[in-house]
Amino acid sequence: MSVLTRDEAQTRARLLDVHRYEIDLDLTRGDDTFDSRTLIRFTVRDGQDTTDTFVELKPAELRSATLDGDPIDPTALDGNRLPLTGLTEGEHELRVDAAMRYSRTGEGMHRFTDPTDGETYVYTQLFLDDVQRVFPAFDQPDLKAVFDLTVTAPDGWTVLANGITEHLGDGTWRAATTPLISTYLVAVAAGPWHSVTTEHRGLPFGIHCRRSLAPHLDADADEILDITRACYDRYHEKFEEPYPFDSYDQAFVPEFNAGAMENPGLVTFRDEFVFRSAVTDTERQTRAMVIAHEMAHMWFGDLVTLQWWDDIWLNESFAEYMGYQTLTEATRFTDTWVDFGVARKAWGYDADQRPSTHPVAPEAVDDTASALLNFDGISYAKGASALRQLVAWLGEKDFLAGINTHFARHRFGNATLADFIDSLAATTDRDVHAWADSWLRTTGVDTLVPETGTRDDGNWNVNLRHADGSRPHHITIGLYDHDPNHPSRLTLRDRMDVDIPATGDMVLGSAGPRPALVLLNDGDLTYAKIRFDPDSLTTVRDRLSGLPEPLTRAVVWNALRDAVRDGDLPPTDYLETARTHLPHETDLALVQGVLSFASAQIADRLLTPTARPAALATLTDLCRDLIRRTEDGSHPGLRLTAVRHAIDVAAHPDTIASWLTDGTVPGGPELDPELRWRILTRLAVLGATDEAAIDAELARDPSATGQEGAARCRAALPDPDAKRRAWEAMFTSDDLSNYLFTATAQGFWQPEQSDLLHDYVERYWTDAVAVAARRGPAIAEAAGRWAFPAYAVDADTFRLGDTCLREADPIPALRRKLTDQLDDLRRAARVRDTHA
């Protein structure tokens, strides 16, 4: 499939104005394909001589195509491009009749049959260039058009789309005409949905899921709709431009690759957000943040759309920032920036230190394949962090004035970074152009280091310096003293707001003795790694849990995490700090973040295999402390988090096997499906269960999630035949859906089974390249992320990986993942060598 280049898109945009798509989809044609008939009305601009262009299309069968009534030979289709030749100035009509394939990989029109009840659902995911899997299109974001959609569906189905849909009878549904939107934002979701509908401020709201999840959606419907209403109202307080579409539906769909997709009027979410098992309040907050994020896209991305894919930050960074900020302002989730700091920001820091790093706003993205790779921790988390820093530096009043100017100038159109900066510049005297150059056009993470001392007069001072990087930073420095009344606590003496220049050191001082802790970036307003002076590090090690605010503790935990990854802090010191302070932590996001890093990174990767058992023992003791602490039932979310991680790090099967037999953890919680599959997976890793037990559990829970759990468990069994079957399912057969592929990969590689898996490390590099080439970017992403031998930190892995990248020509989506994974392994090797 040919990718669209930036140059080709610019040429086509100069040539054409696209006005309208009339699309007729027939979903009653069988399990493999659906019919797609499309009329596109477009104009060749004045002053154009006879010229040629193309439309993108990837059909199972191209039955016919006509341009202005003249037939186009179907054999002219070249890959995914249908040539349009001899175009003259003026209006034109293109008609295409094709059969299109359903997808099992979450790309194009995905088809899913629910194993619980046999009901079938389909939905579209047309981002970034997958519209051509559903209907022909001039597929680039700056060729906006209006869309008229008709869908024929089986009896008993409901069809959802960007606009309000009407059932015309005989299974035919018609959607209201859209305003001007980009091709990648067109959406359809069809099936026997369970729906909860309401109205808010005269606008229809709906939430939808497959029928087997109906009780779970109903249980949370009030919460989901309350969050939706609160965000809607808060955005209307912030934005002068009203919500620009005729309805707001949120569909929770199966086997969705992303967290959600911002289709105007029909946001699609992965249906794991319909919770069928117990969850923590932090997980509810995450769902609420995704709701807020996607609603922000109705303005950032849908109303005003990027002109080309080098400005994806104009979509994602803004939605990320607005999602967290608006949730904090408008809902009960008032500490969202803690979770951002622990989970999302770490994602950005890691991405920004790999060879594949890129600016938040690159100067140019050459083609759509390259663009797809940039939907990462930089475009989301780093970009949102940059915006948070911009608001701190600029002031929220001027920031909001700038974005409202931006909406007014470009509504239902397209915009670039330059356009946005011009809108901001119109509302402030600050040099936002210089800010954009230093923050959005550069790569890497700055490191800020304090060097403290005591002057001759007894007062203290601190020298702030850039150890790495050269961006200006507006930060808060927190000064903390030992609490004389509570030996384990710290008290805030003062906070100083400081503008750190891009270059050069900066000396600050204050009257009185040196604080016990000097904390740079208190409040987490900037994007930078921070370090501690020696005395402050001692204070942190001794009294971290005594810091009064969770966001402050998040900054400290992030700094310790970064120091471990950089080789400046031994991983065992981090574990000891966690063992000391996490039993006293109350913030669920912090507990989850620290335990995840300690287990998945430190125990599984950063420590040598011989040091791993001791790390697992430490984490097991820590989880037991948390479980004992929560026996009174006062912290159910904390208890659930501790139980989950106790299962994941169990080195011996006896305790967790007894939980599974009893159906409960002593003192609670009772085991729901998620916990039962979690225990069974760990028992499989440890060789303490078998195929019969997995089959019995699947009979107990035959849902889609149960199918994934069974695939994960089977792949985790330490048995040569089980490993062979799992490998063949992933890499030889193409039958696995995207979710079943991921589940199988998650079970396959286990540090405890390195001897059994040794030969597969070498096979991976050939087989992953082949499956990615056959099945495309979504499976390539899964193969590079989940099927990668992440535990294999050794020279053979580096040699095999480097040879693959040099000689095997993996598709871009896989090449990016392999590059990043190998860099992470090399970082782990350096940490091991440093602290051997």
Contacts of 530 (CB under 8 A, 6+ apart): 447, 448, 449, 519, 520, 521, 555, 559, 562
**Tokens representing residue 402 in the block:** 């700038």
Spatial distance between the Cα atoms of 784 and 824, rounded to a whole number of angstroms: 13
Note the pLDDT of residue 50: 85
Q: Where are the beta strands (DSSP E) in 304-410?
A: 304-306
For residue 505, pLDDT beyond 80:
no
Catalytic residues: 294
Note the pLDDT of residue 455: 79
First to last CA, the chain: 48
The interaxial angle of helices 313-330 and 214-238, nearest 10 deg, is: 100
Q: Is the peptide bond before 266 cis (omega within 30 degrees of 0)?
A: no
The residue-averaged pLDDT of 132-159 equals 98
**Per-residue pLDDT tens over the stretch 677-731:** 999 999 999 999 999 999 999 999 999 999 999 999 999 999 999 999 999 999 9
The residue-averaged pLDDT of 782-794 equals 97
Residue among 593, 616, 594, 618 at smallest CA distance from 604: 616
Spatial distance between the Cα atoms of 272 and 392, rounded to a whole number of angstroms: 35
Residue among 766, 773, 774, 728 at smallest CA distance from 748: 728
Spatial distance between the Cα atoms of 314 and 307, rounded to a whole number of angstroms: 10
Q: Where are the alpha helices (DSSP H) in 114-199?
A: none
**Per-residue pLDDT tens over the stretch 645-689:** 999 999 999 999 999 999 999 999 999 999 999 999 999 999 999
Spatial distance between the Cα atoms of 49 and 26, rounded to a whole number of angstroms: 38
Q: How confident is the model at residue 47 (pLDDT cuts 50, 70, 90)?
A: confident
* Distances 170 to 36, 92, 584, 612, 753 between C-alpha atoms, Å: 18, 32, 62, 63, 56
Residue among 239, 243, 293 at smallest CA distance from 404: 239
Look at the alpha carbons of 86, 92, 95, 96 in this order and tell me if their dihedral is positive or negative: positive
Residue among 303, 335, 341, 333 at smallest CA distance from 319: 303
Domain extents in the chain: 6-192, 446-526+528-569, 731-836
CA dihedral 718, 720, 721, 723 (to 10 degrees): 70
The CATH class that applies to domain 6-192 reads: mainly beta
Half-sphere exposure of residue 510: CA atoms within 13 angstroms, side-chain side? 15
**Per-residue pLDDT tens over the stretch 752-783:** 999 999 999 999 999 999 999 999 999 999 99
Least-confidence region, from 135-144, 452-461, 741-750: 452-461
Spatial distance between the Cα atoms of 79 and 548, rounded to a whole number of angstroms: 61
Q: How confident is the model at residue 1 (pLDDT cuts 50, 70, 90)?
A: low
**Tokens representing residue 497 in the block:** 């707001």
For residue 135, pLDDT beyond 90:
yes
**Per-residue pLDDT tens over the stretch 284-319:** 999 999 999 999 999 999 999 999 999 999 999 999
